[in-house]
Chains A and B, each alone.
Chain A
Amino acid sequence: MIEPLLNWLDETTGWRKLKATLLDRKIPKGVNWSNTLGSLLLFCFGVQAITGMLLAMHYSASPDHAYQSVQYLGSQVPMGAFLRGLHHWTASAMVVLAVLHLMRVFFSGAFKYPRQMTWFTGVALLLVVIGLGFTGYLLPWDQKAYWATTVGSKIASITPVIGPWVGKILKGGDTLGAVTLARFYSIHVLVLPALFVSLVLVHLFLIVWHGIAAPPERMKQEPSGDWKAGVDRRYHDLKEKGVPFFPDIVFKDMMAVLLLFAVLAALAYFKGAGLEDMADPTATDYNPRPEWYFLFLFQFLKYIPGKLEAVATSVLPGLAITVLFLLPFLDRGARRHPLDRKSWTGLGLAALGGVVFLTVQGLRSPDVNVEIPKNPEVVQGKRLFAELRCASCHSIDGKGGVVGPTLDNAGSRRGKDWIEEHFRNPQAMTPGSKMPNFKLLDTEVEALTAYILSLEGGAYSADAPKLFEDQCMSCHMINGKGDDSGPDLSLEGKTREQGWIEIYIREPEKIYPDSAMPGYAKDLTQPQIEDLARYLAAQRGTKGSVTRVAGAKPAKAAKKGKAALGPKGEGSD
């Protein structure tokens, strides 16, 4: 029944011969688990291709939507966060596996006759993998993406002679922006994958053509005469005694793949891919760090004086890649065992040690800037504020229109609920208001309200001014009250946000290592520190904002002995 069908398929495709060539081929004995690395890489590429196709369904390659689309993908699409996590971790795994694969081939001399071309395509594949990593992490358009790419393209542009052109071509212009993102996206999803597939096909063909290299054997000295025929004969003998590719080798590959997938899936599920704040070209409090696999280069640059920058960024890496490429021409002959090629083995180990050392140093090096957690709602609100052109009528910090009221202290003046209702229906809250009804979505109302409240760091309790009096006034003053041995804090809210102040009160040395101020982590509770930070963030010199407390008048709240945390929506004027 099935036999005629199989025969017909064989007639039309020749699959039996193909199967014999691919699956029944013999593999020399002694091929061990380290030989599964190539299969693992192939599997990883498959995972990247499939997850990549799926991720692209919810991605928009433009700076005004890229970040939002990645956010949407991670929060609104079932399995979106998991698949993005898988893509992220598999990318890292590919770099690790590619380097391990290269090391195995390097140390076992498997790149030697007759497999030089396999080596060339392999090194090219490694470069493609690195290129995929570099172009891939710009795509979410978060802070990491933006700043790592800024540094990366700057590095490209200080290459001697051709640098300025390389930089421009990479970015698609002079600045990092919409053109860069579209360009990187095209390179990431079209150019490099096409290159990868072409190279892999050649690489795989060569592997089947030459057969998998047998484990290296010691050779006392370099054979003379027609040593290539000797190598061929020896390989033929080993292969005869070998095991079939299917199922013996495939079994090992499959088990390794299963283990790898379990690890990657666990990382994707439990750790995910992470998304930092949206790219902000004006940010000065961010610590740009590349993906960890570029960290050794990043760290290396710290030791290089500025004048020699190009040596470190392009000359040395260029030299390393050239040596790697030309290895089969440099390390020739029949002797493959690492102990028979001591100088190359030593060089390889030294390079590996250097990369590991620099990576560890890079991971250990402390961040210059303190990370200040941002409220994503506030960030979104700020963006909406600009998008809806609210500043045409309202001012913040003295900037903006005068048609509507200034918003610096709207939070304490009106309270959260009032502001939310006002956004939904301005005329209902303020009859005769000229403010248009934007018909905002609920999420937009919440974000805008969070932003308005954040302008003074949110509402503080009645205890906050008292706390300030007890704890801070011996050094600081607000509006002329207090001591002037420390900085005057009357306008603190104009220059610092609540998150910064909060960290500073808790651990001043984290922000200024030689700060004279003592930390209050022990003396105050975390809610007290937050309250105090909100109070200080409200010090903006705006008329009336200094003594106002959300929800209730300070004296009243204090009398009742109740801290009125959280606004109640009673406008106090």
Chain B
Amino acid sequence: MSTVPPNKDPEPANLLDRQVDRREFLKLAIFGAGSLLAACFGGAGLTYFLSPAFKQKQDAWVDLGPVGDIPQAGPVKMDYIQRQADGWTTVEGRSSAWVLREDLNVTVFNPHCTHLGCAYRWDDKREAFLCPCHSGVFDKKGNVISGPPPRPLDRYQAKIEEGRLYILPGEKAS
């Protein structure tokens, strides 16, 4: 059994018992309200501003025509027009891809050099892809022969349906 001590401590050790100074309270309230506002408004604003980072790119398969029509001698550049949503507009964007066909075996390359994105071309004499910017050179399978490119040429996903070639630009082949 505990008994009440006869002499109470004259100075309460508990800090909570201390009256919060009015000025301190006002400052705290101002700071609290400001933080709440900043969190709500800032949260919404940042979500909006940063949203492109989380946006999934929606690609559509592009029809490049009958596979049989693609020459087999070496890689060919194929241009296509793709109707696609661009923000709030729809554009008919012109793009291209390099296509290497060996019978029904088709490899489609992203037309930009893997170094810094310049457009390369196929050189028949040297049997290589040449990049005009920093002299990157790739063989016809896209492997780096010389120069600064860090990796082989990027490939697009490709599929053949009913004899027609479809590619999925923007995605690397898995």
Contact = CB atoms under 8 A, between A and B. Distances in A.
Interface stretch (B65-73, B84-92, B127-135): B84-92
Given A80-B48, A261-B40, A261-B41, A247 B23 contact: yes
A265 B49 contact: no
Contacts of B44: 79, 82-83, 86
Nearest to B80: A439
Interface string B21-47: 001001101100110110011001101
Interface in A464-492: none
11 contacts: A57-B49, A58-B87, A58-B88, A78-B48, A79-B44, A83-B48, A247-B27, A250-B30, A254-B29, A261-B37, A441-B83
A374 interface: no
Q: Looking at chain A's contact residues, is the secondary structure mostly helix, strand, loop, or mixed? A: helix
B51 interface: yes
Interface stretch (A65-73, A156-164, A356-364, A494-502): A65-73
With most chain B CB atoms within 10 A of its CB, the pick from A50, A73, A80, A251 is: A251
Contacts of A441: 60, 83-85, 90
A258 B48 contact: no
Nearest to A250: B30
Contact of A83 (B36, B45, B85): B45
A385 to B, nearest CB: 14
A475 B23 CA distance: 81
A47 interface: yes
A371 interface: no
B66 to A, nearest CB: 14
Interface residues of B, number: 28
Given A60-B88, A261-B41, A439-B83, A54 B48 contact: yes
A247 B51 contact: no
A399 B89 CA distance: 28
Given A68-B89, A439-B82, A439-B83, A77 B23 contact: no
A255 B37 CA distance: 11
A453 interface: no
Nearest to A84: B48
Given A248-B26, A439-B82, A72 B87 contact: yes
Nearest to A55: B48
B47 A65 contact: no
Interface of A: 47, 50-51, 54, 57-58, 60, 65, 68-69, 71-73, 77-80, 82-83, 86, 247-248, 250-251, 254-255, 257-258, 261, 265, 438-441, 443-444
Interface in B132-155: none
Given A247-B23, A441-B84, A258 B37 contact: yes
Contacts of B27: 247
Contacts of B40: 261, 265
Given A438-B83, A441-B84, A441-B90, A255 B51 contact: no
B47 to A, nearest CB: 5
Nearest to B24: A247
Contacts of A68: 88-89
Given A438-B83, A439-B82, A439-B83, A79 B29 contact: no
B31 to A, nearest CB: 9
